[in-house]
Amino acid sequence: MRSRAGKPVIVLDGPAGAGKSTVSREVARRLGLPFLDTGAIYRAITLVMLRDGIPPRDVSRLTERLRGFSVSFPGGRVTVCGEDVTDAIRTQEIDSQVSGYSAVPELRRSILDIQRQGASEGLVAEGRDMGTVVFPDADLKIFLTASPEARARRRYNERLERGQTPDYEEILDQVNRRDAIDSNRDVAPLKPAWDAICFDTTGMSFDDVVSGILGYAAGLL
Ligand code: DC
């Protein structure tokens, strides 16, 4: 899938905390491509719905509310209708609710276009269903995994760095619960595309993961 500008579309999928965000941000930076964090879109929607008191099962209000929804990524921040929600979407409350909203098929369908918008300039996109549903013709598909404990530890450290007071056991529990919901939902479940390259990052350094991916990407440039 070459974009019209002739630049590649590279996608990274995998479970929570496998290092997708930091790795794909760096891969995008090194290749000079835009970066799309699709989890941030699901998180922003979750925040909006919780504020408006719309539960995932209320599909008609949910789809109605999504009509006026817009999300932007100015300078690496996340904004919804102009409000900066970068920190508000990375809390334990959002972590515990987001899988419920992201399992709603109507919601997933309604944000397909938002996710595909930037691809004409080439893109590095990360999420759960980039290689299977959103960009099935991507030029390079990577699936990152790591043990649940390694992933919970990463999330724990991220929260500490943000000045929050995380609870490791609670995060581990949530990582396991979220994986179970994300992997078993009917629509766009978390799974590697048949043509994805899988990396288990448990014992790998950040630099090794990035250079491994850049090695595969080199063939595309
Ligand atoms: O990557 P993340 O932890 O920020 O993602 C938050 C949630 O959004 C995750 O539990 C599953 C959902 N998600 C999804 O269903 N599909 C995507 N492409 C990206 C995220």
Q: What is the pLDDT of residues 155-172, one digit of tens each?
A: 899 889 988 899 999 999
The percent of residues in the chain predicted with pLDDT above 70, rounded, is 98
Q: Check pLDDT > 80 for residue 4.
A: no
User: What separation in Å is there between the alpha carbon of 161 and the centre of ligand 1?
Assistant: 21
Residue 3: pLDDT band with limits 50, 70, 90 = low
In terms of C-beta density within 10 A (0-12 exposed, 13-18 middle, 19 or more buried), how is residue 115 classed?
buried
- pLDDT at position 194: 95
In terms of C-beta density within 10 A (0-12 exposed, 13-18 middle, 19 or more buried), how is residue 116 classed?
middle
* 14 torsion bin: left (phi>0), alpha (psi -120 to 50), beta (else): left
CA angle 142–145–147, rounded 5-degree value: 170
Query: Into how many domains does the chain fold?
Result: 1
Range of the domain at 213: 9-220
Amino acid letter for position 62: L
Nearest protein CA to atom 14 of ligand 1, as residue: 128
- pLDDT at position 155: 87
Task: Say if 194 falls within a structural domain.
Answer: yes
Report the residue count for the chain. 221
Kind of pairing between the strands at 71-72 and 140-145 = unpaired
User: What separation in Å is there between the alpha carbon of 99 and the centre of ligand 1?
Assistant: 7
Q: Check pLDDT > 90 for residue 180.
A: no
Task: Say if 178 falls within a structural domain.
Answer: yes
CATH number assigned to the domain comprising residue 99: 3.40.50.300
Q: State the average pLDDT for the chain.
A: 92
Which tens digit of pLDDT belongs to each residue from 26-46?
999 999 999 999 999 999 999
Nearest protein CA to atom 11 of ligand 1, as residue: 99
* Sign (positive or negative) of CA dihedral 34, 39, 42, 43: negative
Which tens digit of pLDDT belongs to each residue from 84-105?
999 999 988 998 899 899 999 9
Mutation pick for ligand 1 pocket among 13, 20, 21, 98 (CB with most ligand atoms within 8 Å): 98
Alpha helices in 68-111 (DSSP H): 92-102, 105-110
Q: Which atom of ligand 1 is nearest to the CA of 90?
A: 4
Task: Say if 82 falls within a structural domain.
Answer: yes
Mutation pick for ligand 1 pocket among 89, 116, 128 (CB with most ligand atoms within 8 Å): 128
- pLDDT at position 43: 97
Higher pLDDT, 137 or 180: 137
Q: What is the CA radius of gyration of the chain?
A: 17
Task: Say if 3 falls within a structural domain.
Answer: no
Pocket lining for ligand 1, CB < 6 angstroms? 16, 38-39, 42-43, 98-99, 102, 127-129, 178, 182
Task: Say if 132 falls within a structural domain.
Answer: yes
State mean pLDDT over 48-77.
94
For the chain, the farthest-separated pair of C-alpha atoms sits apart, in whole angstroms, at 48
Two structure tokens written together for 58: 């209320």
Task: Say if 1 falls within a structural domain.
Answer: no
E strand or H helix at 37: strand 35-37
User: What separation in Å is there between the alpha carbon of 205 and the centre of ligand 1?
Assistant: 23
Task: Say if 34 falls within a structural domain.
Answer: yes
